[in-house]
Amino acid sequence: MIKTRRLNIRKRIALVAHDNKKKDLIEWAEFNKVVLAKHELIATGTTGKLMEDQLDRPVKKLLSGPLGGDQQIGAMIAGGEIDVLIFFWDPMEAQPHDSDVKALLRIAMAWNCIMACDRSTADFVLTSPLMQTEYTLNIPDYSTYLKRKID
Ligand SMILES: O=C(CO)COP(=O)(O)O
């Protein structure tokens, strides 16, 4: 049986950016302010504060990334509480919480979460007609894998 998840028209978008990428995310969010206004925003602590100031609207702020915010977003993805992840991670600088960053990227892949890690992909995601409709997301079927683990 194929498992699916129904995404509403109003998507729950998680926003996360590393320090060297925060300026990029702010500019991107300002450019896309009108579209973003139609959706619910969730973010790691510092990113969320910057987004609130820039967009002049409430953003659900979690802990700062290095203090557990990345893990909170990952848990929300696994729990079906995030529809889209916009994660501007820094490819040029190692982070003290690299293991959390990797875990977030991994769990997003594991759940087939819509994800963009740079401005061009984020633009393509946000302008997709699927953002303006309900959407049925297929959840990968790991039952064979799980069965193999139990056998
Ligand atoms: O570190 C982050 C993502 O890995 C982002 O966290 P902040 O938004 O709290 O800076």
Does 69 sit in the ligand 1 pocket, CB within 6 Å?
yes
Is residue 129 predicted with pLDDT exceeding 90? yes
Alpha-carbon gap, residue 134 to 131, rounded angstroms: 8
Supply the pLDDT for residue 150: 67
Tell me the per-residue pLDDT of 15-26, one tens digit each, with 9 for 90 and over: 999 999 999 999
| Per annotation, catalytic residue among 19, 53, 70, 151 | 70
Instruction: Please choose from 15, 18, 85 the residue to mutate so as to test ligand 1's pocket, defined by most ligand atoms within 8 A of CB.
Output: 18
8-150: CATH architecture: 3-Layer(aba) Sandwich (3.40)
Mean of pLDDT values over 107-130: 97
Tens-place pLDDT, residues 47-84: 999 999 999 999 999 999 999 999 999 999 999 999 99
Q: What is the mean pLDDT of residues 94-115?
A: 98
Q: What is the ipTM of this complex?
A: 0.98
pLDDT at 151: 64
Q: What is the pLDDT of residues 137-150, one digit of tens each?
A: 999 988 888 877 76
Ligand 1 pocket residue status of 64, Cβ below 6 Å? yes
Mean pLDDT of 84-92: 98
Please answer whether residues 90 and 60 qualify as being in contact, where contact means their C-beta atoms are separated by less than 8 angstroms. no
37 neighbors 56 (Cβ within 8 angstroms): no
Q: Residue 2: pLDDT above 90?
A: no
Gap from CA of 103 to ligand 1 centroid (Å)? 14
pLDDT at res. 78: 97
Of the residues 47, 54, 70, which should be mutated to test ligand 1's pocket, given the most ligand atoms within 8 Å of the CB?
A: 47
The full set of domain ranges for the chain reads 8-150
b vs e for 128-139, b when ≥16 Cβ sit within 10 Å of the residue's Cβ? eeebeeebeeee
